[in-house]
Structure formats: C-alpha cells, structure tokens
Amino acid sequence: MKNSKILYLGLILALVSACGPSEKTKQLMQDAKTSFGILPEKMPGSEKDTPAKIALGEKLYFEKRLSINDSQSCSSCHGTLGKTAGVDNLPTSPGALGKNGDRNSPTSLNAGFHFVQFWDGRAADLKAQAKGPILNPVEMAMPSEAAVEKKLSEIAEYVDLFAKAFPDQDKKITYDNLAEAIAAFERTLITRDRFDEFQAGNHRALTSDEQKGLETFLSAGCIQCHNGPLLGGNSFRKLGQVNPYENTTDVGRSAVSKNDAEKYFFKVPSLRNIALTAPYFHDGKVATLPEAVKKMAYLQLGKELSSEEVDSIVSFLKALSDKNRSN
C-alpha cells in the first residue's frame, strides 16, 4: 500500500511537471515583463482621492445636466457600464446640439495612466481633460464655467455631495472641483486582463495561438510604438512614419504645439481593450481590428503583413480585453 501511494504521488508530480511551462514559454513571459512592464495597481494621483470625491465624480460622469440641453454626459461618448469599454463605438461622436466632433472618442478606461490626454495631448492630465468637453461648443456646449457652477448650485443633491467631497473649502461648487471629482472617479477605471496574468507567471492565461501572436507582435516591431504597461499611451508618433496616411485634414499635435515638425503626430493609443473599442485611428475611419493591424504595419513599419501574421497579432490583442468586459 505504501509503495502504491509513493507511485501515485510520483505520477502526479510527473504530470504537474509535464504540464508546466516550456522553456520557450518561460522566456516569452519574461520577455513580456521586460518589454512592457506591469500595469500598476493604482493610478497617479489616486492617493489623494476620497470615497466622497469618487462618489461625486461618478455621479457627475453620468450627469446629462452638465450639457446645455440636458442631453449629454461624459458617459454618452465614454460608456463604462456593463460590457462597454469607455467608448461609444462610433467613428466620431454627436454632441449635445447634434453636430459630430472631428475625432474618434478615446477610451476612458486606464486613461489616467496615459502621459497626456486627448489625441493631440492638449490636456496634461485627467483633471484638465475633464474641463474641456463640457465647455466645447460641439460637445456639451455649456457657455461658461460660471454657468456650470450656477446650474449645479441649484440642485440640492449636488450642494450636499460637493460639501462632503470638499469639506475644507469655503466655496464647494467650483468648476475646478467638478473636474477634480470626475478625475477621481476616472482614476478607478483600471482594467485587468489575461495578459496581466501571463506576465504574473500563469502560462495558461494565454492560449498557444495568443502566445504566438505575442511573439509576432514583438518580432514585427509593433513594440516600437506600443510599449510600456499600456502597450501605448506614452508617446506621440507621426501617423504615416514610413508610408503616408491618406487623411491629411487633421494635422494632429502641431495644431497645439505650433511646431510643423509635429505635423500628423498623435498620441499612440493604448492597446489595452483595443478589441472592444472599434472603430480605429483618430478619425475613426478604420472599421475592424485586422484592418487596423495591417494598415499600421504598412504606415508605421513599411511592412506588408501576411493574413496569418495579422490574424496572429489580432489573437494576442484580444487577450488584452478586460476580463469583466470581454465576451
């Protein structure tokens, strides 16, 4: 009986060992950690956020009364409920008065990890970003900061919520505090996916096809722009580094910096949740993820990827979807 138990335990250990990661997979896990780094547990600035500030920010994020005709909220273009991934999945978004903006709405998920906000980087952080759309005449179209403050001051619930969120300030309802509260809520919008688990040492978190896709992603050179824990979101790059992009209407970063050398430069989007945020590019003109992968390789790297390579990379990119939002 004793020998049988020893033999049984030996078989179990052998099976466990056989099912462990191969040396190639171990190296790929290490390469993933080294190449991208680990997504932090918390966003910069969140150490100062309080439950009251976050609760106020969440309510403001979904508040349509922040628009001129009570029709539009932050959530209208950057949905976060259920399976939505911080976008509206439209090429460009309609504003409160029915006119569409010029650019595709970027996701609000993980946005606080980005080095700047908006496609052209005109806002330094989430707080600065939150101030923009409310007063933008094409988006929420409120006429002034004072008008926003007056509107909120006439709502008893907000008088109470601002007082709880900013107890030490003489004037509670200010446009600056509004933006700070929305930013506090957005700092909670961190997603977790199977790639995180793979980096942490779970070799089964990615399928063999997805691991092959990661290898292809690295070897093809996608990492030149899509690096860091977000696989992007940390630099400006010219759209059309090798081959020009056909849409030359939007000059991108140079409109903000007034530097012609930055013409057609845009913030590199994060690839976290990219499979959930179609359509793609700053103008929303690329409908599908395979099309986006193939086009980016041609525009940025001068490469014509095969269908097999495109499918392989797309397989990996789908593993970057938040576990609570992916199907």
List binding-site positions.
74, 77-78, 222, 225-226, 296
- Angle, helices 126-135 vs 145-153, to 10°: value is 90
Burial of residue 109 (number of CB atoms within 10 Å: 0-12, 13-18, 19+)? buried
User: Per the structure block, which two tokens stand in for 293?
Assistant: 């992968």
The residues, any chain, with a CB within 8 Å of residue 204's CB and separated by 6 or more, are none
Side-chain-side CA neighbours of 5 within 13 Å: the count stands at 2
Catalytic: which of 58, 63, 139, 262? 139
Annotated binding site for heme c: 74, 77-78, 222, 225-226, 296
Q: Mark whether 139 is an active-site residue.
A: yes
Distance CA 233, CA 236 (A): 8
Spatial CA neighbour of 74 closest among 232, 185, 159? 185
CA 7 to chain centre: 51
Q: Which residues are catalytic?
A: 139
